[in-house]
Structure 1
Amino acid sequence: MKRSFFYTLIAQIFISSIGYAQKQITHQQLYWIRYYGQYVLSPDWTLTLEVEDRRYFTHNRQLYWVLPRINVLYNLGAGWQAAAGFTYYLTTNPADPEKSSSVTVPELRPHQELDYRQNIRKLTIDHRYRLEERWIHHSSGSELTPGYSFNFRFRYQLQLSYPIINKPQPAGRLTAKLADEIMFNFGHQIVYNSFDQNRIYAGLNYGISPNVQLELGYLNWFQQRSSGNQYYNRDNIRFTLYHRLKF
């Protein structure tokens, strides 16, 4: 069953690549402002909180609110963590900065994940496997309508981190990051866009104190729309404030 699902995804990606000339690609530029709080409750339990505002450079119009994403992680040992969480997500439609906002669509998104970290000398390699259940509010394009649509999404992220300026304490440490994340939709309502999106990220993280870090990076976000032959190719500048507390 798992092998059949994997082969189906590979086949759809291959067919999609053959029809590249028929793709309609919309290019957009955005900036993301994010707060990422990490609260260490004990050696085994950690709570994280994310709030993120994603806006177009054009007219400074908002596209998405992540408000918030909460994650509870448990240390399994040997580099592994298990986690579960919830995201309240708001999408402003239409997804065109030249048009005024007409409706804001809520999404309810619980998730489960496994994380694995390995170190090769100074290089840190992080793997994240996340399964999301997505309840997206129905809308007519101009107003919300009753009910929700539902589908699953699987996400895999690989991230490499390497210290350019290495210090024993976080303050003054400069770290380079490179990451790629791919996402797949599945469910009864998914017809043409089993491949959802791919995100490539490169950034620099600097520790300004033992508990606070600042990060600036570039993220390329390539996303397939539900029609199957329409795509967004978005260039994003992302700024993150990391805040870590131990209780």
Structure 2
Amino acid sequence: MKSRIYYILSVQIFISSIGYAQKQITHQQLYWIRYYGQYVLSPNWTATLEVEDRRYFQHNRQLYWVLPRINVLYNLGSGWQAAAGFTYYLTTNPADPEKSASVTVPELRPHQELDYRQNISTLTIDHRYRLEERWIHHYAGSKLTPGYSFNFRFRYQLQLSYPIINKSKPAGRLTAKLADEILLNFGRQIVYNAFDQNRIYAGLNYGISPNVQLELGYLNWFQQRSSGNQYYNRDNIRLTFYHRLKF
């Protein structure tokens, strides 16, 4: 009996070691520069605008453009908001800073989401549930080809915010942020990468004025590729310029 158990365990360890050996992880380092505008239209309606440039540290080559992401939010009450928006997204291929850019691939990405905010003393907890519809332009080699591929992606983000220097007004306030987001693909064209990626973020947000904040943080971005056994593990430094206007 013991020998049979040892045999089964040995086989499982051997199979697991094969799977681990076949997993290919590519490490990369990037920096992200982002503008985030928040425009309060009324007590119940808010619009946001994001523009983001994501580049490799190596050779300063661009990988992604978020150009732009637009979101319109409606206050449902009791900490809940509903939102819908659209992102125009550009990917520069190949995803290798050592190689010259050969093609830029557009993606059209509408989304819908629900947000929930809760406060425990001075700790703020944000939950974001987002569903994206992704139309990604076909390409072959260095040329775009006719048509788009389509899939859905679900995203859940949990973020904690805690004031290190707490002030009644935004100017001079220093806030620590910690977040985790998981992204899952689904659709007929998704075969091996139902798990898309996970993002862990830590940053500091400082209020420069009542309407302007700067945030600097680190984001670890672990992503599975469509092959199923290839992954990106990316270290990212992100600088965000927050701008709030109330109409």
Is the 1:212–1:241 contact (alpha carbons within 8 Å) kept by the matching residues of 2?
yes
SS at match of 1:42: coil
Q: Which moved more, 1:127-136 or 1:15-24?
A: 15-24
Q: Which residue of 1 aligns with 2:3?
A: none
Q: Which residue of 2 aligns with 1:182?
A: 182
Q: How many angstroms does 1:18 deviate by?
A: 9.1
Q: How many angstroms does 1:21 deviate by?
A: 3.4
Q: Which residue of 1 aligns with 2:40?
A: 40
Counterpart residue type for residue 209 of structure 1: S
Distance in 2, Cα, partners of 1:171 & 1:120: 22
What's the Cα RMSD here? Answer: 1.4
- Say if 1:214 and 1:20 are closer, same or farther in 2 by CA, change over 3 A: same
Distance in 1, Cα, partners of 2:158 & 2:32: 20
Distance in 1, Cα, partners of 2:239 & 2:129: 24
Is the 1:93–1:141 contact (alpha carbons within 8 Å) kept by the matching residues of 2?
no
- Say if 1:16 and 1:111 are closer, same or farther in 2 by CA, change over 3 A: farther
Is the 1:220–1:236 contact (alpha carbons within 8 Å) kept by the matching residues of 2?
yes
Distance in 2, Cα, partners of 1:165 & 1:17: 48
Q: Which residue of 2 aligns with 1:169?
A: 169
Q: How many angstroms does 1:89 deviate by?
A: 0.1
SS at match of 2:171: coil
Q: Which residue of 2 aligns with 1:124?
A: 124
Q: Which residue of 2 aligns with 1:10?
A: none
Is the 1:105–1:144 contact (alpha carbons within 8 Å) kept by the matching residues of 2?
yes
Distance in 1, Cα, partners of 2:222 & 2:76: 33
Q: How many angstroms does 1:16 deviate by?
A: 9.7
Distance in 2, Cα, partners of 1:34 & 1:213: 12
Q: How many angstroms does 1:132 deviate by?
A: 0.1
Q: How many angstroms does 1:122 deviate by?
A: 0.6
Superposition pairs of residues 77-92 of structure 1, within 5 angstroms:
77-92=77-92
- Say if 1:204 and 1:22 are closer, same or farther in 2 by CA, change over 3 A: same
Alignment size in residue pairs: 233
Q: Which residue of 2 aligns with 1:154?
A: 154
Is the 1:94–1:141 contact (alpha carbons within 8 Å) kept by the matching residues of 2?
no
Counterpart residue type for residue 76 of structure 2: L
Query: Which of the two has higher C-alpha Rg?
Result: 2
Q: Which residue of 2 aligns with 1:73?
A: 73
How many percent of aligned residue pairs carry the same amino acid?
A: 92
5+ residue gaps, structure 2, are 1-14
SS at match of 1:96: coil
Is the 1:27–1:232 contact (alpha carbons within 8 Å) kept by the matching residues of 2?
yes
